[in-house]
Amino acid sequence: MLVLLLGCATPVDSGVDSAACADPAVTWDGWGQGFFVTWCGACHSATTPDRRGAPPGLDFDTWEEVQAHRDEIERSVLTEASMPVGGGLAADDLTQLQALLACGEGGDGTTSTAQLPSPALDATGIEAAAATAFAGGVPLATDYWSVYLELVLGHSDGMCPAGGLGAPYAIHAPMVGCTTEDGWYFSGLTLRETTEDADGWSEWMLGDGWAHDLEDHRLVFGGEIEWGADTSGAHPWQTVDGTWGWEAGEGWLAEVPSVSLATEADLATGVVTVTGGWTTGGESVFLDGVDFAPRADDAPSHGTLSVRDPGGAWYTVPLREDGSGCGPATYADGTALGEVCFDTAPLAASLAGIVP
Amino acid sequence: MILLLFAACATGDSAAPAPGSALAPLPDERLARRMSLDLRGVLPTNTELDALAAGDTTVNGLRDAFLDDPRFEERLVQLLGQAWRTQVDEFLVNYYEYAAYAARPDAEYPFERGVGEEPLRLAARVAASDAPWPEILTADWSMADEWTGPLWPTDYPAGGTGWQVVHYTDGRPAAGILATNGLWWRYFSTVSNFNRGRTAAIARLLLCEDYVARNVSVVGFASETDTTDVEDNLRTNPYCLGCHSSLDPMATALFGFWPANEYSLDEIESYHPEREPLGPVLLDVEPAFYGQPFDGLPGLASLIAQDPRFGACAAETFAGLLWRRPVTLEDRAEVDDATAAYDADPRLKPVLRALTDGERYRAGAFTSAADDATLTREQVVRMLDAPLLASALEDLTGLDWTWTGFSQLRNDTWGYRLLGGGVDGFYQTRSQSIPGMTWLLVERRAAESAAAWAADHELRGTDTPVLFTAVTVDDSPGSEAFRAQLTLLSHRLYGEAPDDAWIADVEALWGATAPSTDAATAWETTLAALLQDPRFTSY
């Protein structure tokens, strides 16, 4: 029987019986728990955040639960092969499962938990971390683009970097780098595309390189940026993903932050919605749908602002809708940390230019 | 020919097998030799073998000493490299993209190993220091050498050399190997893959759950696919959900390593904390490890470390590495023993002790009870693959076979690792178990080089002899010194005492060479031949 089963990757055609017993016995601790976690846990677990249609209560977290549902498991896995969804069980797994159901042994199992450390920041610490990250303003594609144009056009000698600024290659330097006549060093590649229509135009750029000036300041282009402009000069949308900056520049550019951010402006109301985050000055923030009104110079009144501590835990602050820039801070484990108020003036100031 | 000689090794003199067993154990000296090579990457010394022969120690006593030997850590790097496949010769970015290395082709090999060995050396340091194995997932430190440490955001000391414990300074969380650049440069994610491939790598490396090997029906997938939207299918199509229901919730933990451009050095050498919250958003799932919610990469790492499959996978992984073959269901009892050793004491050394205590590890020959399945499955003779040959020859003769910075037996760009039976991490994922023509050529060239090196330094030069300790160039066959030297070589190279016939054969070989050259060249020729004996190249 065992030998026959070894050759089968398809449903086993017989019921569970003692002939399938293995030597040594298949145990819940030794094999069963791992099998059920691997193949069933994502849906059939009391703790799973998404059961994906699994009937409530039909869980296989313990040996007792498996024994209680032995017939259903036997039918759906061994006989009908309707579970796990999509199939994929190997012949060895079927053999082991049959042995476990027929005459397996239980055990205590292993209970694992992922515990967070205690909060490293209090309300004051959250405010301070955010202030550091906010100091340079919101990283905007248009800020970077203008600096990039100036520096590349100002230093390219036609051969280094090659390609000038004509699409599709904004600049193109050998990976081993090249040095311009005035001593700037370029390495890497950027792809560029400009799209125009009656309402305006958009720019897209993908980069993986950098340039050095004579004092070793770096112009970094690593990732993807994109922005749109209407005919009035406003910028209804922008995205910045990657590592961008100019070490001799101003504001956020000087920090060369890591960014993943999108801004969307309602040009009629002047509200700019920011979604995404950046890391600068050693602090990381994430804004989820935070609305700014730079024309009115108000604090944001909508969305959630999150701050990360050095250990990697996040603190979430849903902003009150009263325009105070404040809200209740909550640690990742749900611990309430009291009221937090953010100084978002640098962010609002940096956004003013995209909704003139 | 070589194959036949290997087969002959498998029927050699052995200690008594257990009654009814299909496997006969190696004699103690050869077993000690196997353990020394597996656990230290070098041959046992004659002193160690003499102590064993005299009863001053036991095989297990030697084994335990090997586990405490400083070379155990380096050997673990090489062993784990075969399973984790990070010692590759190519990454998405090249060494010359760093300005410091742009004009240094000699930097290629050490840079690539500096990258790929980072997670291996972290794990090896944990194991060698006898720390709990789960620390490979919880450590707030990593390892870097002078080729990567100063370039990456680490606290590698200015002017430092060699592998050192470092801490990243870019805000990445404590998650052991899961927070290393080396692992994620090898297992990279494209922008649109959203770390799913990396998660599959985690499952294979740490839980021995290979998503890619799952027997999923493509026919069923095609018939049930009613949309071309890949992301939509991954969330709704049962043939996708079979894997992605567990894969995607885990992948949410890795978005700090998710690059906006996987070819950008700035993007892939640094961690991006601000992208951590993007995982659940972009994958449209809540973070969970097979149904257990977690928070962030440390949360995922913690759950993996506590999972019963983690210890079992360590046992299975090292069983395969030490047995030099895939682990099958038939091996369950011995793997279970090693898993039990881990459960009782979650460090790696107890696992290795349990495995090296086992019948499969100690097997040196088949008995008449062996059936066809056993004969096919078991590896009673191991072959020195290129990296193991490199470390054994280096220890034996001092030869560090390199060319323009490339270790000749440890890479494939300018070397012979793959041709010599090694693992390249991409195309060859298990070391060769039987000799082939290219292996033979590599082994021959390595033997000749090592012999020339030893003769140059010990007989022609003035180095203190470590191999030719009993003879000088004035000794000739028939002398006591000559016989003593051959006895020492037989012990050292093969873990066996020589017999008179073998001594006569070797003396004849030496004697046939010396008249037309000189004594040093005759010894060089003789040693090159001895290093090609299957008793040396197998273990």
Instruction: Calculate the alpha carbon distances from A146 to A167, A234, B156 in Å.
Output: 16, 15, 36
The pLDDT value given to residue B1: 43
d(CA B490, CA B41): 19
Percent of chain A with pLDDT over 70: 92
Q: Does B97 touch chain A (CB under 8 A)?
A: yes
Q: What is the mean pLDDT of residues B398-419?
A: 96
Residues of A within 8 A of B234 (CB-CB) are none
Q: Does any domain span residue B141?
A: yes
φ, ψ of residue A209 in degrees (nearest 5) = -170, -160
d(CA B520, CA B439): 27
For residue B386, give both structure tokens.
């290129």
Asked if the model's pLDDT at residue B266 lies above 60, the reply is: yes
Asked if the model's pLDDT at residue B13 lies above 70, the reply is: no
Q: What is the mean pLDDT of residues A309-317?
A: 94
d(CA B82, CA B217): 30
Of A305-319, B228-242, B370-384, B386-400, give the lowest mean pLDDT range.
Answer: B228-242
Q: Does any domain span residue B521?
A: yes
Asked if the model's pLDDT at residue B236 lies above 90, the reply is: no
Per the CB < 8 Å rule, is B97 touching A175?
yes
Where among B170, B186, B202 does a domain terminate? B186
Q: Does A3 touch chain B (CB under 8 A)?
A: no
Q: Does A285 touch chain B (CB under 8 A)?
A: yes
The pLDDT value given to residue A116: 82
- Cβ burial A208-237 (10 Å sphere, 16+ → b, else e): bbbbbbeeeebbbbbbbbbbbbeeeebbbb
Domain count, chain B: 2
> Which ipTM did the prediction report?
0.90
For residue B516, give both structure tokens.
């037309």
Per the CB < 8 Å rule, is A41 touching B291?
yes
The pLDDT value given to residue A1: 32
Query: What's the CA dihedral at A164, A165, A167, A172 to 10 degrees?
Result: 50
Q: Does B220 touch chain A (CB under 8 A)?
A: yes
From first CA to last CA, the distance across chain B in angstroms is: 17
Q: How far is B117 from chain A (nearest CA, A)?
A: 24
Q: What is the mean pLDDT of residues B32-43?
A: 98
pLDDT tens-place string over residues A131-152? 999 999 999 999 999 999 899 8
The pLDDT value given to residue A20: 62
Top pLDDT among B104 and B233 is at: B104
Banded model confidence at residue A301, pLDDT cuts 50, 70, 90? confident
φ, ψ of residue A308 in degrees (nearest 5) = -110, 140
Asked if the model's pLDDT at residue A38 lies above 90, the reply is: yes
Q: Does A56 touch chain B (CB under 8 A)?
A: no
Per the CB < 8 Å rule, is B285 touching A50?
yes
The pLDDT value given to residue A111: 72
Averaged pLDDT of chain B: 94
For residue B186, give both structure tokens.
């090898």
d(CA B72, CA B35): 11
Instruction: Cite the beta strand spans of chain A per DSSP E.
Output: 87-88, 169-172, 178-179, 185-187, 189-197, 200-212, 218-230, 237-246, 258-266, 271-280, 283-292, 304-308, 314-318, 326-331, 336-341
β-pair partners for A204: A193, A226
Q: Does any domain span residue B215?
A: no
Banded model confidence at residue B18, pLDDT cuts 50, 70, 90? confident
Q: Does any domain span residue B81?
A: no
The pLDDT value given to residue B15: 66
For A35, nearest residue in chain B (alpha carbons): B309
Residue type, A116: L
Q: What is the mean pLDDT of residues A247-275?
A: 95
The pLDDT value given to residue B166: 98
Residues of A within 8 A of B221 (CB-CB) are 86
Asked if the model's pLDDT at residue B207 lies above 70, the reply is: yes
For residue A128, give both structure tokens.
């301070």
d(CA A43, CA A70): 17
Q: Does A243 touch chain B (CB under 8 A)?
A: yes
Q: Does any domain span residue B120?
A: yes
Per the CB < 8 Å rule, is A116 touching B288?
no
B186 Cβ contact list (under 8 Å, min separation 6): B85, B86, B88, B91, B115, B116, B425
- Cβ burial A304-320 (10 Å sphere, 16+ → b, else e): bbbbbbebbbbbbbebb
Looking at residue A42, the DSSP 8-state letter turns out to be T
Where among B135, B161, B186 does a domain terminate? B186
Q: Does B288 touch chain A (CB under 8 A)?
A: yes
Residues of B within 8 A of A58 (CB-CB) are none
Where among B154, B186, B218 does a domain terminate? B186
Decide: helix, strand or coil at residue B516.
helix
Q: Does B368 touch chain A (CB under 8 A)?
A: no
Asked if the model's pLDDT at residue B420 lies above 90, the reply is: yes
Asked if the model's pLDDT at residue A9 lies above 70, the reply is: no
Asked if the model's pLDDT at residue B155 lies above 60, the reply is: yes
Question: Which of A308, A309, A317, A335 would best serve as a mutation to test chain B binding (most B beta carbons within 10 A)?
Answer: A308
pLDDT tens-place string over residues B314-337? 999 999 999 999 999 999 999 999
Q: What is the mean pLDDT of residues B456-473?
A: 94
| CB-nearest partner of A222 from B220, B267, B295 | B267
Q: Does any domain span residue B366?
A: no
Per the CB < 8 Å rule, is B292 touching A95?
no
Q: Which residues form the domain of B521?
A: 383-539
Q: How far is B348 from chain A (nearest CA, A)?
A: 18
Whole-model pTM above 0.90? yes
Asked if the model's pLDDT at residue B118 lies above 90, the reply is: yes
**B71-84 helix and B308-323 helix, angle to the nearest 10 degrees:** 100
- Enumerate residues 153 to 182 of chain B having a beta carbon within 8 A of any beta carbon in chain A: 171-174
Query: What's the CA dihedral at B255, B256, B262, B264 to 10 degrees?
Result: 160
Top pLDDT among B390 and A3 is at: B390
Q: Does any domain span residue B396?
A: yes
Residues of B within 8 A of A48 (CB-CB) are 288, 291-293
Q: What is the mean pLDDT of residues B496-516?
A: 96
A257 Cβ contact list (under 8 Å, min separation 6): A136, A139, A243, A244, A245, A278, A279, A280
pLDDT tens-place string over residues B130-146? 999 999 999 999 999 99
| CB-nearest partner of B215 from A90, A96, A260 | A90
Contact B247, B283 (CB under 8 A): no
The pLDDT value given to residue B2: 46
| In B270-385, alpha helices (H) | 278-283, 296-306, 308-323, 332-344, 348-357, 359-362, 372-377
Smallest CA-to-CA distance from A347 within A81, A55, A133 is with A133
Q: Does any domain span residue B167?
A: yes
The pLDDT value given to residue A113: 76
The pLDDT value given to residue A12: 44
pLDDT tens-place string over residues B44-53? 999 999 999 9
- Cβ burial A157-175 (10 Å sphere, 16+ → b, else e): eeebbbbeeeeeebbbbbe
| CB-nearest partner of A208 from B102, B263, B290 | B263
Per the CB < 8 Å rule, is A260 touching B260?
yes
The pLDDT value given to residue A17: 52
Averaged pLDDT of chain A: 88
Asked if the model's pLDDT at residue A65 lies above 90, the reply is: yes
Percent of chain A with pLDDT over 90: 65
Asked if the model's pLDDT at residue A355 lies above 90, the reply is: no
Q: Pick left, alpha or beta for residue A149 (phi over 0 → left; psi -120 to 50 → alpha; otherwise beta).
A: alpha
pLDDT tens-place string over residues A164-190? 677 677 778 777 788 999 999 998 888
Instruction: Calculate the alpha carbon distances from B153 to A129, A283, B142 in Å.
Output: 21, 15, 12
Q: What is the mean pLDDT of residues A10-16?
A: 44
- DSSP strand pairing (B363-366 vs A258-266): unpaired
| CB-nearest partner of A284 from B171, B245, B246 | B171
What is the DSSP code string of B100-158? GGTT-GGGHHHHHHHHHTHHHHHHHHHHHTT--TTHHHH-S-EEE-TTTTTTTTB-PPT
